[in-house]
Amino acid sequence: AQSVSQHNHHVILSEAASLELGCNYSYGGTVNLFWYVQYPGQHLQLLLKYFSGDPLVKGIKGFEAEFIKSKFSFNLRKPSVQWSDTAEYFCAVGVSNDYKLSFGAGTTVTVRA
């Protein structure tokens, strides 16, 4: 089974700072990649996804992620964060046509006004 590593457990930023969250996985075959976000008191929402094609994926709320196959990475970025981006972020990896998603441990992002 694949494993997913998120490098940061807790990130604290000021508003307008840039954000980058690391995600690496351990499967060598074809994968589907996801970032989910969980805002305080809300359910898990899909932020963006990669299945194939352009490795630079744009999601909701100004987030983007880049798939680098050679590095087994799918890092999440946002150029300028807002207080409302305070949330927990999860990277998830699935093998194509398999039902199992493997999740990273999550990164808590706190944005200070």
The verdict on 26 binding other proteins (CB under 8 A) reads no
Helix, strand, coil fractions of the chain, as percent rounded to 5: 10, 55, 40
Nearer to other proteins (CB atom), residue 45 or residue 110: 45
- Choose one: 12-20, 28-36, 57-65, 74-82; the region binding other proteins (CB under 8 A): 28-36
The verdict on 23 binding other proteins (CB under 8 A) reads no
Among 42, 52, 54, 113, the residue binding other proteins under the rule CB under 8 A is 42
Instruction: Write out the binding residues for other proteins, residues 55-84 only, by CB under 8 A.
Output: none
CA distance 33 to 50: 5
The verdict on 103 binding other proteins (CB under 8 A) reads yes
Q: Which of 39, 38, 60, 41 is nearest to 49 (CA)?
A: 60
Nearer to other proteins (CB atom), residue 17 or residue 22: 22
Q: What distances in angstroms separate CA 43 from CA 25, 32, 64, 87, 97, one per listed residue?
A: 24, 21, 21, 11, 25
